Structures are given as structure tokens and as C-alpha cells.
Amino acid sequence: MIDIHYSDEVAEARAKGAPLVALESTIITHGMPFPQNVETARRVEQAVRAGGATPATIAVIDGRLHVGLSDPQLLALGQAQNVMKLSRADMAACLASGQTGATTVAATMIAARLAGIEVFATGGIGGVHRGAETSFDISADLHELAQTPVTVIAAGAKAILDLPKTLEVLETLGVPVIAYGQDELPAFWSRQSGLKAPLRMDSPAEIAAAHRMRGALDLPGGQLVANPIPTEAEIPSDVLAPHIAKALAEAEAQGIAAKAVTPFLLQRIFELTHGASLEANIVLVLNNARLGAAIAVELVR
Ligand code: PSU
Ligand code: MN
């Protein structure tokens, strides 16, 4: 079994059986610019603590798996260049070769399970990209949700993706997609996607009970909780659509592929919206951290 390095607060929470919420690090290294990335990471950790749970930000630093980062580690990661973006495929190689890598949704789920953490809050999961019928670009996050028993709170899948295809793949993989407090699947920066979510729940207790029931059924895999961005922070989808279209066209023209696609699109949409997309992203992650804490609290009840 791998030697995991726990932060003091995470070690203490584990010893007491106190609620924990895993947090990812790719959003810090590849999802947001410095210094907003570090600021947001700190605020997200605070939101988890305010909700009565302990935050466990996950990353690989110099070949060691860290569950819970110190503030200097968070700051260093937020400024580091050439950090690997780790998914299921490359996590072991990064650890074995002593490198530094940020964990995506998939890799964070793997680490959370090893650490016994059942709840993980992020911004938006990866999904099926537009044009996937020719590019085959489908995020490994979807397959991870099918096999690793962690409940993931996101604001839906990013609107840069093909959301109907993402829902289809999740259905095929047997992943419960639960809209929180509304019928419609939220679309990251917007509350509405025009698509009905397969499931709806209105309380953290219901989500915790469904998580437990999957365990009782001995089903592998987790749950996706799609938590809509707060109304006051959302960017209506018709405002966003032209910017997404432009960013996608640029990615295509520049031959952006594989792991570089999502960071490229997020950065271009940030520029095209003059920072508005980042503002919304920050609000939705904080909102997800609060819901994650509430679910984690219910799970230990
Ligand atoms: N949520 C955000 N910003 C992000 C991500 C999530 O608000 O940048 C990251 C997650 O790490 C997720 C990744 O796993 O985007 C998706 O990458 P890809 O499409 O290459 O699978
Ligand atoms: Mn991809």
C-alpha cells in the first residue's frame, strides 16, 4: 500500500472519524490563473471548515501522494510551472518517477478512496467533448465515476462539452447523476442546460443515504451531484455561447488536443469574458464545497 502523507488536520480528522471533503489540485494548476487559483483554493478549504468538515486538498509533490496540503505547499503548487496533469493513466508514473503532479477529478477520486474519503467537491467534471464522434475525446473522469466509490459534487459538466452525450455516457456507465434542488442539469457557469437530470435530490441527507445504499448494494463507482451555480453569479448560456464557440474554433485551428484542451478553453473563455467566467467559476466551487461539507457531515451521522 502506498505511503500517503496526510496534513495534520486531515490526520486528526481521520483518527476521530470526523467528516472529510477531498479537493482536487488541477483546478489550481491548470484551471485558474495565479493568484486567483491560490486564493480560491484557500477560500474553498475555509468553506469546508465552516461547514463542519475538514478539507483534504490532494496532489503529488516530488513523488509523494499528499492528502491535505500545508499553505506553503498550496502556494508553491499555485505558482509552479510544468506541473503534470494527472489522471488515472499517469498517476503511478508520476509517483514512481518522483515528479510533481496535480490531480484531476479522476486522480483525486483514486486518492480519496485510498484515504477513506467518500466526498469530493470540485468545479466541473470532464465529459464528452463536442466532436467526440471524430476526436474520441471523452474525459477519464466519467469512467472513474463508474468505478470508484466517491460522491463528487460539481456544478454539472462544463458547458464547453457536449452535455447530452456526457449524460448518455454516464447513463451507460451506470453513474447516478443527481441535480441538487432543481430538475434540470446545471451547465457549470449557467443554472440551466435545457436537459432534465436523471435524478433530483433536495437535501444532503438524501444524497448521503443514496451513497450508503450504493455501498450496501456492493456497487462500484460513485455519484455525480450537479449543484447549480448560485443565481446571482450565473452567466446566462446565451451570453456565453458565442465565447465558447470562438474558443472551440481556436482550439481546433491550433490543433489543441488531449490534456491541453480543457485548460486552453477555460483560459480563452476567461479572456473573452474579461474575467467574468473566472468569477463565476470561483463562486460555484465555493458553493460545491459547502454542499460537500454538508454531505460529509451527514455521512458520519
Ligand atoms: N473544475 C473546474 N476547473 C477545472 C477542472 C474542474 O472548475 O479545471 C478540471 C478537473 O481536474 C477535471 C478536468 O478533471 O478539469 C477535466 O479535464 P479533461 O477534460 O482533460 O478530462
Ligand atoms: Mn480529454
For the chain, domain boundaries = 4-300
Residues, CB within 5 angstroms of ligand 2 (ion): 137
How far does residue 47's CA lie from ligand 1's centre (Å)? 20
Judge whether residue 1 has pLDDT over 90.
Answer: no
Judge whether residue 155 has pLDDT over 90.
Answer: yes
Q: Which atom of ligand 1 is nearest to the CA of 261?
A: 20
Distance CA 163, CA 179 (A): 14
Kindly state the average pLDDT of the residues 149-162: 97
How far does residue 258's CA lie from ligand 2's centre (Å)? 5
Distance CA 212, CA 111 (A): 19
Kindly state the average pLDDT of the residues 118-143: 97
Model pTM score: 0.98
- Decide: 152 and 174 in contact? Cβ < 8 Å: no
Q: Which atom of ligand 1 is nearest to the CA of 259?
A: 20
Residue where the block lists cell 484551471: 31
The three cell numbers locating residue 50? 465552516
Ligand nearest to the CA of 59: 1
Distance CA 112, CA 110 (A): 6
- Decide: 247 and 265 in contact? Cβ < 8 Å: yes
Distance CA 147, CA 221 (A): 4
Q: Is 277 in the pocket of ligand 1 (CB under 6 A)?
A: no
> 218-272 pLDDT, tens per residue?
999 999 999 999 999 999 999 999 999 999 999 999 999 999 999 999 999 999 9
Question: Which amino acid is present at 128?
Answer: V
Ligand nearest to the CA of 58: 1
Counting ligand 1 atoms within 8 A of each CB, the residue from 34, 120, 128, 141 with the most, and so the one to mutate, is 141
Average pLDDT of the chain to the nearest whole number: 98
- In which band, very low, low, confident or very high, does the pLDDT at 171 lie, cut at 50, 70 and 90? very high
Q: Is residue 158 among the annotated active site residues?
A: yes
In this structure, whether the domain defined by 4-300 belongs to CATH 3.40.1790.10 is answered with yes
> 51-91 pLDDT, tens per residue?
999 999 999 999 999 999 999 999 999 999 999 999 999 99
> 184-203 pLDDT, tens per residue?
999 999 999 999 999 999 99
Q: Beta-strand (E) ranges in 137-182?
A: 151-154, 177-180
Which residues are bridge partners to 156 per DSSP? 187
* pLDDT for res 169: 98
How far does residue 86's CA lie from ligand 2's centre (Å)? 12
Tell me the angle at which helices 71-79 and 36-50 cross, rounded to the nearest 10 degrees: 150
Kindly state the average pLDDT of the residues 161-171: 98
Distance CA 57, CA 65 (A): 11
Q: HSE (CB half, 13 Å, CA atoms) of 60? A: 28
> 93-115 pLDDT, tens per residue?
999 999 999 999 999 999 999 99
